[in-house]
């Protein structure tokens, strides 16, 4: 136990050191300050702006920003759908893959376009090398940059700054952050043994004298943006549990850093924009405490193991090693499972369906909350919206006019904030109820009872929160699952984004009022504690019945054996 916790502690220490400085760099990029890449990227961006007819100095309103985002995403998604559909006649298809079914192609396109990465197929048996690079990898860059832009524009609106230009934010997010790090990361992965090739599968002879095909492809370049951009969808069906995606403990550490870097760094980006680094640190420690609690719950459960299995084997205590890679062990798998759901990434280095009930509780709760640490760009948005609602209720309780960052909180802004918070449970729980009502024809549950409930709800929660991981064992490659989860992903992504951008516009256009002694300060320990309570009331209690009927009930039943 001690060695496992030491591994977790050292990993998190490395992440913390990197992300604080990374946040300063991201803030400089979007505040127009000088960065190390200016000499290389400024000329390149000017060429892109000219070719795309983008006026970089032109600020957009919230509606203009939203329409530009939605139309560009629609166009890019349509192109990716066509590319996958016609991959059979396109180059770099050594496996001669044809077109997947239309509903699977639609689900795959929407999944990667919405930064979800949910997969109802095996990548090594479905997607050509060309579709992987020009289709899915391209979508992962666009979706990550889109989420980053939404986070930045919301911070601008909250702090009373002009909202900026969507195309400029999108391009700078790719050229200054995602692309440079992805190039370096892909080279490092390649050096550690992750393949990067366009060749056909390898034909090898096994020890038994039989022949076997080993799938390869452009994996290193796919892997880094999947992690850095919180996309999560794997080149292989086994995702980061596959040795070609994650061969050793070094690549595992790099993957964890990549997953956590931007979501955590955005807290300090907010501190730089608001010129209030004290508040950023308070928010960080609040989330870090939440995060450590979930890691402890998961790690303790995996270390104790399954009491039924241990009893049958004659052990008093044996860690749960089902669904885990021996090169990582129970500790790194437990840490990864919480990180990937906390950051809305969705990549896995072990099978979540094999986690103990406490692990199922932590992973589900992480996606319910969406703020520990949240998705790329959108995580900081949800966190600040909870702070915004906290300021509204706190103002009402003390009898003063609710305000946040020196601006009055209006009726329209509260409505928009409420829509943003509520769309997540609506998009997930309604289709979950429908699927559970028809367990034979729709749900596809492979495990009856409480675990089966978790399987179904997990699929929709991961779709709604743009996470993409799943409790495998669910028969999800059907017309119902492909279309229903596609609708959930679209609702969870674009309805929220549209409301976020309208709220940013509303806050930016609200006149500031001078501070008075009764003005509520947002960088105090009291206000941070109130925010934690609001997060608990609005998110945890909404989903509490699911936790009771899923992992909690499963845990009590297991303990009673």
Model confidence pLDDT, tens digit, residues 82-103:
999 999 999 999 989 999 999 9
Burial of 53 (0-12, 13-18, 19+ CB in 10 A): exposed
Main-chain dihedrals φ then ψ at residue 227, nearest 5 degrees: -85, -50
Question: In which residue ranges of the chain is pLDDT below 50?
Answer: none
What is the predicted pLDDT for the residue at 536? 86
What is the predicted pLDDT for the residue at 143? 96
Give how far Cα 234 sits from Cα of 24, 88, 202, 561, Å: 30, 21, 20, 37
What is the predicted pLDDT for the residue at 516? 58
Confirm whether pTM is higher than 0.85: yes
**HEC-encoded secondary structure of 474-496:** CCCCCHHHHHHHHHHHHHHHHHH
Query: Tokens representing 215?
Result: 């799938």
Bridge partners (DSSP) of residue 213 are: 203
**Alpha carbon distance 481, 108 (integer Å):** 12
Give how far Cα 265 sits from Cα of 82, 116, 146, 295, 368, Å: 36, 20, 16, 20, 21
Instruction: Tally DSSP H helices, then E strands, for the chain.
Output: 22, 4
**Alpha carbon distance 443, 61 (integer Å):** 43
What is the predicted pLDDT for the residue at 445? 78
Give how far Cα 472 sits from Cα of 238, 305, 348, 355, 555, Å: 10, 20, 11, 11, 19
Classified as helix, coil or strand, 332 is helix
Torsion of CA 165, 227, 323, 1, to 10 degrees: -110
pLDDT in tens, 420-476: 999 999 999 999 999 888 876 676 777 778 888 888 999 999 999 999 888 877 888
What is the predicted pLDDT for the residue at 497? 94
Main-chain dihedrals φ then ψ at residue 214, nearest 5 degrees: -115, 115
């Amino acid at each position: 136990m001690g060695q496992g916790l030491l591994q977790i502690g050292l990993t998190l220490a490395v992440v913390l050191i990197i992300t604080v400085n990374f946040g300063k760099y991201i803030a400089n990029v979007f505040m127009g300050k000088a960065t190390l890449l200016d000499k290389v990227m400024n000329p390149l961006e000017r060429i892109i702006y000219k070719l795309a007819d983008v006026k970089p100095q032109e600020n957009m309103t919230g509606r203009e920003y939203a329409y530009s985002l939605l139309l560009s995403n629609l166009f890019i998604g349509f192109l990716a759908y066509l590319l996958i559909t016609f991959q059979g006649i396109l180059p770099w298809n050594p496996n001669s893959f044809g077109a997947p079914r239309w509903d699977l192609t639609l689900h795959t396109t929407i999944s990667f376009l919405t930064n979800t990465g949910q997969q109802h197929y095996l990548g090594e048996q479905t997607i050509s090398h060309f579709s992987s690079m020009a289709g899915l990898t391209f979508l992962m860059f666009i979706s990550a940059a889109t989420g980053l832009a939404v986070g930045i524009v919301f911070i601008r609106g909250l702090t009373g700054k002009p909202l900026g230009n969507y195309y400029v934010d999108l391009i700078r997010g790719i050229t200054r952050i995602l692309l440079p790090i992805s190039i370096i990361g892909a080279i490092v992965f390649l050096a550690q043994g992750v393949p990067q090739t366009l060749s056909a599968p390898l034909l090898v002879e096994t020890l038994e004298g039989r022949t076997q095909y080993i799938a390869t492809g452009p994996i290193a370049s796919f892997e880094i943006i999947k992690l850095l951009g919180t996309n999560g969808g794997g080149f292989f069906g086994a995702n980061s549990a596959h040795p070609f995606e994650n061969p050793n403990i070094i690549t595992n550490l790099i993957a964890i850093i990549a997953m956590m870097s931007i979501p955590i760094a955005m807290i300090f980006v907010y501190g730089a924009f608001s010129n209030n680094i004290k508040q950023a640190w308070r928010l960080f420690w609040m989330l870090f405490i939440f995060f450590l609690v979930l890691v402890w719950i998961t790690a303790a459960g995996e270390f104790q193991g399954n009491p039924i299995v241990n009893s049958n084997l004659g052990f008093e205590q044996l860690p749960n090693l089902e669904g885990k890679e021996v090169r990582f062990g129970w500790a790194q798998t437990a840490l990864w499972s919480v990180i990937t759901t906390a950051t809305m990434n969705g990549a896995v280095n072990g099978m979540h369906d094999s986690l103990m009930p406490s692990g199922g509780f932590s992973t589900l709760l992480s996606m319910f909350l969406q703020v520990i640490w949240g998705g790329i760009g959108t995580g900081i948005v949800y966190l600040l919206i909870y702070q915004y609602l906290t300021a509204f209720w706190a103002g009402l309780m003390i009898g003063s006019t609710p305000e946040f960052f020196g601006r009055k909180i209006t009726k329209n802004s509260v409505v928009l904030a409420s829509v943003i918070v509520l769309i997540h449970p609506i998009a997930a729980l309604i289709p979950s109820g429908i699927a559970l009502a028809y367990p034979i024809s729709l749900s596809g549950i492979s495990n009856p009872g409480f675990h089966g409930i978790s399987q179904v709800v997990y699929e929709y929660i991961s779709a709604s929160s743009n996470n993409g991981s799943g409790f495998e064992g669910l028969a999800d490659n059907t017309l119902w699952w492909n279309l229903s989860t596609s609708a959930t992903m679209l609702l969870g992504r674009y309805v929220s984004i549209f409301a976020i951008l309208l709220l940013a516009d509303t806050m930016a256009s609200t006149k500031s009022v001078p501070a008075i002694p009764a003005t509520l300060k947002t960088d105090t320990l009291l206000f941070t504690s109130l925010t934690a309570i609001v997060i608990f009331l609005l998110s945890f209690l909404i989903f509490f019945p699911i936790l009771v009927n899923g992992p909690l009930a499963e845990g009590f039943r297991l303990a009673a054996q």
